[in-house]
Amino acid sequence: MNNYRMGGYLLFAIGLINLRYQWGEPGIVQRSAAIFIPGALILLATFIAPLKLVLMRKEVQYLLAFAGLAIVAFAVTN
């Protein structure tokens, strides 16, 4: 569960940093929201008991790992 929390916080922080440093660019709020909203949702899901059971399934772990890496790649190339 700790890995999910760290990953969620990573996406949340990258999204907010991206928003701050590219402020004034057209469409930056939408691009940054696409980064920090999934991070916030993952972070919140780790504190809700029924969702913890879903997060512990192997296929969900692989799916979220792939999605997290894709979002980080989007943030870096953005």
DSSP 32: H
Q: Report how many domains make up the chain.
A: 1
Q: Is residue 11 within 8 Å of residue 38, measured between CB atoms?
A: yes
Q: Is the dihedral of CA 70, 41, 75, 5 positive or negative?
A: negative
pLDDT in tens, 20-56: 888 888 888 998 999 999 999 999 999 999 999 999 9
Q: Is residue 28 within 8 Å of residue 19, measured between CB atoms?
A: yes
What per-residue confidence (pLDDT) applies to 6? 93
Q: Is the pLDDT of residue 67 over 90?
A: yes
Share of the chain above pLDDT 90, in %: 69
Q: Is residue 48 within 8 Å of residue 76, measured between CB atoms?
A: no
Query: What residues make up the domain containing 28?
Result: 2-77
